[in-house]
Amino acid sequence: MKLYVMISDLYVAGENVTKLASMCKLKGGRLARQVTDSCLQFWGGMGYTNEVLVSRFFRDLRLMSIGAGADEVMLSVICKMMDILPMPPKKIK
Ligand SMILES: Cc1cc2nc3c(=O)[nH]c(=O)nc-3n(C[C@H](O)[C@H](O)[C@H](O)COP(=O)(O)OP(=O)(O)OC[C@H]3O[C@@H](n4cnc5c(N)ncnc54)[C@H](O)[C@@H]3O)c2cc1C
């Protein structure tokens, strides 16, 4: 939560927060998947049904890693900002 506030402050101050925001979205999505998966596993068969909210969270929070740019897109944005995007090999003359 502190990180989100820090990024918002930087953004308001006029900084370019693309790299940090992409990192945050990537981490947030992965964490949400991990947490909801563990919760569903904990609930067992009951967690798989529509009778409990766990299955709803499992599906809904999955969107974090897809919507507004999938995790893979976040990774390429981060790589670009860090100037470590893999390049095709140079042609040998
Ligand atoms: C419930 C919901 C609400 C939405 N609301 C909105 C909205 O309000 N406004 C809006 O504009 N859009 C909205 N979207 C669209 C959403 O932003 C897109 O679904 C999202 O950007 C992913 O694009 P896509 O579905 O075309 O998947 P694709 O681009 O086809 O991606 C499919 C998969 O391919 C892989 N992939 C994609 N690109 C790359 C890449 N460059 N490198 C490596 N792998 C890659 C990833 O694994 C990705 O998960 C919504 C989607 C959903 C499901």
pLDDT value, residue 28: 96
For residue 70 and ligand 1, the question of a CB distance below 6 A is answered with yes
Q: Where are the domains of the chain?
A: 2-81
pLDDT for 57 beyond 90: yes
Note the pLDDT tens digit of each residue in 11-52: 999 999 999 999 999 999 999 999 999 999 999 999 999 999
**2-81: what CATH class?**
mainly alpha
pLDDT value, residue 13: 97
pLDDT value, residue 18: 97
pLDDT above 90 coverage of the chain, percent: 85
For the chain, report the end-to-end CA distance as a whole number of angstroms.
Answer: 52
Best of 63, 66, 80 for a ligand 1 pocket test (most atoms within 8 Å of beta carbon): 66
Taking the C-alpha atoms of residue 9 and residue 67, their distance in angstroms, rounded to an integer, is 24
pLDDT for 1 beyond 80: no
Taking the C-alpha atoms of residue 31 and residue 66, their distance in angstroms, rounded to an integer, is 13
